[in-house]
Amino acid sequence: MIKAGIIGGSGYTGGELIRILLNHPEVEIDFVYSTTRAGKQVTTAHPDLLGLTHLEFTGKVNPNIDVVFLCLGHGNSTQFLKEHQFSKDTKIIDLSNDFRLQADAVLDGKKFVYGLPELKKEEIQKAKYIANPGCFATAIQLALLPMAQSDFLQNDVHINAMTGSTGAGVSPSATSHFSWRNNNISWYKPFTHQHLEEINESLNSFENDIGELFFLPNRGNFTRGILATAYSPFEGSEAEAIELYQNFYADAIFTHIASDAIHLKQVVNTNQCHIHLHKYKNILLITSAIDNLLKGASGQAVQNMNLMFGFQEDLGLQLKAGVF
Ligand SMILES: NC(=O)c1ccc[n+]([C@@H]2O[C@H](COP(=O)([O-])OP(=O)(O)OC[C@H]3O[C@@H](n4cnc5c(N)ncnc54)[C@H](OP(=O)(O)O)[C@@H]3O)[C@@H](O)[C@H]2O)c1
């Protein structure tokens, strides 16, 4: 058994990590750190865990653990690592965007590897420090990577994606307030969402020409999941597109190509990414769906942990979709 610590355990991604790790056969949760709830039962923030754990939040970290997950907002991970020391053997998985871009990937000699297993599995297996990808970034990269690798993204790409309210974290805001969000829909940050930078870095890693990505993020009237669509010219047939994607994801344990049109609920509560391809005239429409808190955050973080420690890649992640 390895020992894990969770920082920011009262938030949404921290809560999902606790749920997954309590059922992971190779992991014991050593501590769950909280700035606001130290000394209180973890169930005060996550009442669904009643009867499953007696863990209490702590205000102190154990520096000698095997792995620590940072589930903090932008900028707080850097601050936290400057203020807290871990042993040189402790592996760190950061869920924020502090270390995702190559320009930000090194902190005090620690080199963070971008943790998208479908793109960097071998690097992740050898890594000590992981920058877990963003949720929109995961859905969109998985939709576009095979096209980028095969040099089919030379034209502009139009992307539309909708996320559930948990994407904005646990603290209530004007646009996650029930009265505003329920029966409502809206876009935000048109063409300028911060995840575009990490998406572009990955797509450009194949060193092919990439057109401009026009990304319109939307807020949906549901709590979890991301459904993303992207389209761009593609000269081949639909069957050729499917073959391209199936070949690219042949070894991917959680990313699968669906023959029928996909919907959100088939992946919610799982670590899966489902992708569907549809050809219209000379355009290829690519649809991808993930759970923002699992494949888009905590599930992918555990997938990365499994790879880093040499565990079976889907250990603790054989989850069941809600569906109905
Ligand atoms: N939500 C998603 O779908 C999603 C997907 C991918 C990536 N992410 C990223 O994952 C990170 C966490 O997201 P989240 O949705 O879990 O956020 P969240 O629900 O807002 O939780 C963050 C937690 O961090 C703790 N915290 C706040 N300020 C802190 C500080 N200065 N030092 C230490 N702890 C602090 C708080 O817990 P205490 O009060 O208990 O300390 C808070 O509950 C973010 O960077 C986010 O961008 C989120």
pLDDT tens by residue, 160-185: 999 999 999 999 999 999 999 999 99
If asked whether residues 280 and 148 sit together in one domain, one would say yes
Residue 273 known to be catalytic: no
| pLDDT exceeds cutoff 90 at 322 | no
Q: Are residues 124 and 27 in the same domain?
A: yes
Residue 320 lies in a domain: no
Residue 284: is its pLDDT beyond 90? Answer: yes
Residue 230 has which token pair? 């992207």
- The number of folded domains in the chain is 2
- Band of pLDDT at residue 212, cut at 50, 70 and 90: very high
139 shares its domain with 285: yes
Q: What tens digit of pLDDT does each residue of 55-106 get?
A: 999 999 999 999 999 999 999 999 999 999 999 999 999 999 999 999 999 9
Q: Categorize the per-residue pLDDT at 324 as very low, low, confident or very high, splitting at 50, 70 and 90.
A: confident
Q: Does any ligand 1 atom lie closer than 6 A to the CB of residue 177?
A: no
- Asked whether residue 155 falls in the same domain as residue 119, the answer is no
- Whether 82 is covered by a domain: the verdict is yes
- Provide the CATH number for the domain around residue 100: 3.40.50.720
CA distances from 43 to 19, 47, 71, 269 (A): 11, 5, 18, 20
pLDDT digits (tens, 9 = 90+) for 285-317: 999 999 999 999 999 999 999 999 999 999 999
DSSP symbols for 158-213: EEEEEE-GGGG-SS--TTTSHHHHTT--EE-STTT-THHHHHHHHHHTT-S----E
Within this chain, do residues 152 and 269 fall inside the same structural domain, yes or no?
yes
59 in Cβ contact with 5 (< 8 Å) = no
pLDDT tens digits, one per residue of 242-269? 999 999 999 999 999 999 999 999 999 9
Distance CA 105, CA 97 (A): 10
pLDDT above 90: residue 219: yes
Are 121 and 8 within one domain? yes
pLDDT of 202 reads 98
Q: Is residue 319 part of a domain?
A: no
Classify residue 322: in a domain, yes or no: no
Mean pLDDT calculated for residue range 233-240: 96
Q: Give the residue, out of 10, 13, 83, with the most ligand 1 atoms within 8 A of its beta carbon, to mutate for a pocket test.
A: 13
Q: Name the pTM for this structure.
A: 0.98
User: Does residue 181's CB lie within 6 angstroms of at least one atom of ligand 1?
Assistant: no
Decide if 97 contacts 74 (C-beta within 8 A). yes
Tokens of 316: 């603790």
Instruction: Give the number of the atom of ligand 1 that is nearest the alpha carbon of residue 293.
Output: 3
CA of residue 169 to ligand 1 center, whole Å = 6
Tell me how far the alpha carbon of residue 209 is from its chain's centroid. Answer: 26
Same domain, 27 and 12: yes
7, 17, 35, 116: which to mutate for ligand 1, most atoms within 8 A of CB?
A: 35
Is there a single domain that holds both residue 92 and residue 189? Answer: no
- Cβ 300 under 6 angstroms from ligand 1: no
3-state SS class at 217: strand
**What is the Cα–Cα distance from 23 to 228, expressed in whole angstroms?**
30
Strands 106-107 vs 110-114: parallel, antiparallel or unpaired? antiparallel
Residue 316 counted as domain residue:
no
CA of residue 234 to ligand 1 center, whole Å: 39
Across the chain, mean pLDDT equals 97
> Which residue range(s) make up the domain with 75?
2-132+297-308
Residue 318 falls within a domain, yes or no? no
Tokens of 75: 């900028």
Q: What percent of the chain has pLDDT over 90?
A: 99
User: What value does the mean pLDDT take over residues 131-156?
Assistant: 97
- Same domain for 71 and 210, yes or no, is no
